[in-house]
Amino acid sequence: QYLPVITHDPGHAYEYVKSMDLESYDAIVIISGDGLIHEVWNGLSARPDAERALALPIGHIPAGSGNGLAKSVLESCGENYGILDAAFCIAKGGHQPIDLMCVRAGDKQQKVSFLSLSAATISDVDIESERLRCIGSARFTVWAIWRVLWPVRLRAELLYWPAEAPGQPSAEPPPLSAELEGQPPWTKVVDDFMVFWACNTEWAAWDSKPAPGACLSDGIWHLLLIRGKSASRTRLLRAFLALDKGEHVHVPGVEIVKCRAFRLIPISKSGHLALDGEKLPFGPVQVWPSRYRGHVLGGEPSNLSLP
């Protein structure tokens, strides 16, 4: 048995799952892009019983422009990418955990992220290409060509907890005003970023693999950076052309920084930030491990009953 729910406007899915009866369902299957999944996980995390709600597995049948979650799950299961492949993977009944992150930005309520946070050229491609949504996923390619010719740079301060450092960030995310600099093992970088792309999954879209080797639940985010003197149009173009196979990591000037938490503080006066493909208020933003994990349909067959 299933209950179809057709969303009519932004926030509909958020409000629906925030008050849904968990006892009536074993899973949620979403036919959409990554934006609706972001909305659903944020609605589940806003419930008083968030830990139990987030144990409800999410299945993703790709129907958007990017579909990074569906691609990442299918790859982890050794399946090809496609609508029928995703449906088959979901029907097998297995599920696996996925890391969720707590995101603070501006004065707005804390958000949950499962996919990525981008700034500079990447967020510009994500947000500004919305005007070309009528051409589907090709909108990213068209706008990326434009931004290779006219790149976006963001002057910013980056603080991150290296993945290889001992210990873990505190269980409770600190406020954005809390001082992190000077407290080991926090590492500080101040530079002009042409590319800033923080990823939780190996694939950020069905044809973009910015974080080769990333796992869904290893507690690590991969920061793809092109910055400073290494930031040229030629290197940006070479990185873009190699993203589909993850070969951009071999382009000189491309950095992959693995971390467990980070804070990005823009020094530039304007720009875009995109969280799981959705626009964030421009300003300081912090990404921190959540106390809870999400679960996705796709993996070894197992019991789907809630704890």
Per-residue HEC secondary structure of 138-204 comes to: HHHHHHHHHHHHCCCCEEEEEEEEECCCCCCCCCCCCCCCCCCCCCCCCEEEEEEEEEEEEECCCCC
Tell me the mean pLDDT in the region 42-48. 97
As given in the structure block, the two tokens for residue 21 are 């009866």
3-state secondary structure of 125: helix
Q: Is it the case that residue 160 has pLDDT exceeding 50?
A: yes
Tell me the mean pLDDT in the region 193-214. 97
Return all residues near 177 (Cβ < 8 A) that are at least 6 apart: none
For residue range 233-262, what is the model confidence (pLDDT) as tens digits?
999 999 999 999 999 999 999 999 999 999
β 28-32/58-62 pair status: parallel
Question: Does the predicted TM-score (pTM) go above 0.85?
Answer: yes
Looking at 21, 34, 85, 218, which residue is catalytic? 34
For residue range 68-94, what is the model confidence (pLDDT) as tens digits?
999 999 999 999 999 999 999 999 989
Q: Closest Cα partner for 121 from 232, 259, 214, 36?
A: 232
Return all residues near 233 (Cβ < 8 A) that are at least 6 apart: 148, 149, 151
Q: Is position 99 annotated as part of the catalytic site?
A: no
What local confidence, expressed as pLDDT, does residue 132 receive? 85
Q: Distance from first CA to last CA of the chain, Å, rounded?
A: 21
